Amino acid sequence: MQQQDRIQNIQALRGVAVLFVVFLHLFSVERKYGGLETILPDILQFGIFGVDMFFVISGFVMVTVTRGKFRNFRHAVTFIYRRLSRIYPLYWVYTLLVLVVFLIQPSWVNSKQGNHISILESFLLIPSHYLPLVMVGWTLIHEIYFYTVFSLALLFSSEKRLPFVLVGWGGIVVLGSVLFTVTLPTLRILFHPLTLEFIGGCFLAILYQKRNFTVKPAILVVLALAALVASVSGYYLFTVVTGRIEPLYWWRVFIFGIPALAIVFCLINAERNGYLMNRYLIRVGDASYSIYLSHILSLSLVGRIWGTFSVNGLADNMVVLPLALVFVIIVGMASYSLVEKPLLRISRKLI
């Protein structure tokens, strides 16, 4: 997001979203390496909600940064280049690191899928039946799809017609998801209901640009918290009734997507009315992509060491878990400063 378009609460929400995902995987690490006694509650599996937050935020940001740039070939090319140059270079760095681990010890990488990995598909973020080497890369495949379609809208549609394009896109997704049982990976991405979260974020940006809400910041924050509580409650009921940990497809949109839209809506308008989220969350948000890509490696390293030296009881859990969280954030911040930002500077000079 350009500096003049930057909304601080969006950055803070990115920080919140990535911490949700980190806590989800921290929970998994404790269950795997922390012994029979654990301290992290099952509700931390709600952390998958962070991904839905990212999708909504992506839609909002795309409309915000392209305002006034429709039906212009140069702007469309610049847009898709900047999106891809933000995703791929850093992703390739971490894919190479995980590939090294995979070549040395295949069982350490995505072992739940039987070590079935396509290296080419992983590097290019091509839809596949299996997770990429960097397991969170599955979300980036969705992002590439979002950006590709949006760049076409940027090229061929006028800004006034964007809402109709989005409705049409959403309609195609709904029909494809409802009418067809899709097994091909590419078609599964094209018709996946998660796309509606991105489209919803786009509509939030359109609404934000056209309406100046005067609701008190405190009320907006309370509404955002209420949406979060509703999402947590919905997730808890889902797990109790179905026995499943992760809601899929339409269930996910209802339980996570709609509350995510409400939270983003409330907090962007709260900033407009004078409320800013914590500055440390904003800093975490700035580094959220680096944290997102690096945290699996960081937690895996902590887990391997922990598993070697773990002792009975909760004492080691109480020490290791906070240290693991701090380690993840430090590594992510270092990656942001030393790797991500230099790569972005280089990519910007090429166009």
The average pLDDT across 318-336 equals: 97
Instruction: Please write the tens of the pLDDT for every residue from 225-282.
Output: 999 999 999 999 998 888 888 877 889 999 999 999 999 999 998 888 888 899 999 9
Q: Work out the pLDDT band at 221, boundaries 50, 70, 90.
A: confident
Provide, rounded to the nearest whole percent, the portion of the chain with pLDDT above 90.
74
Q: Work out the pLDDT band at 213, boundaries 50, 70, 90.
A: low
pTM over 0.85: yes
Helix axes 258-272, 195-210, angle to 10 degrees: 30
Tell me how crowded residue 222 is: count the other CB atoms within 10 A of its CB. 12
Domain ranges in the chain are 3-349
pLDDT value at position 289?
A: 98
pLDDT value at position 1?
A: 53
Check whether 6 has a pLDDT greater than 90: no
pLDDT value at position 220?
A: 86
Q: Work out the pLDDT band at 106, boundaries 50, 70, 90.
A: confident
SS (H, E, C) the chain: CCHHHCCHHHHHHHHHHHHHHHHHHHHHHHHHHCCCCCCCCHHHHHHHHHHHHHHHHHHHHHHHHCCCCCCCHHHHHHHHHHHHHHHHHHHHHHHHHHHHHHHHCHHHCCHHHCCCCCHHHHHHCCCCCCCCCCCCHHHHHHHHHHHHHHHHHHHHCCCCCHHHHHHHHHHHHHHHHHHCCCCCHHHHHHCCCCHHHHHHHHHHHHHHHHCCCCCCHHHHHHHHHHHHHHHHHHHHHHHHHHCCCCCCHHHHHHHHHHHHHHHHHHHHHHHHCCCCCCHHHHHHHHCHHHHHHHHHHHHHHHHHHHHHHCCCCCHHHHHHHHHHHHHHHHHHHHHHHHHHHHHHHHHHHCC
Q: Work out the pLDDT band at 114, boundaries 50, 70, 90.
A: low
The pair phi, psi for residue 128, each rounded to 5°, is: -145, 165
Distance of alpha carbon 127 from alpha carbon 302, whole angstroms: 30
Q: Work out the pLDDT band at 112, boundaries 50, 70, 90.
A: confident
Instruction: Please write the tens of the pLDDT for every residue from 331-346.
Output: 999 999 999 999 999 9
pLDDT value at position 347?
A: 93
Q: Do 234 and 254 meet the contact criterion of CB atoms below 8 Å apart?
A: yes
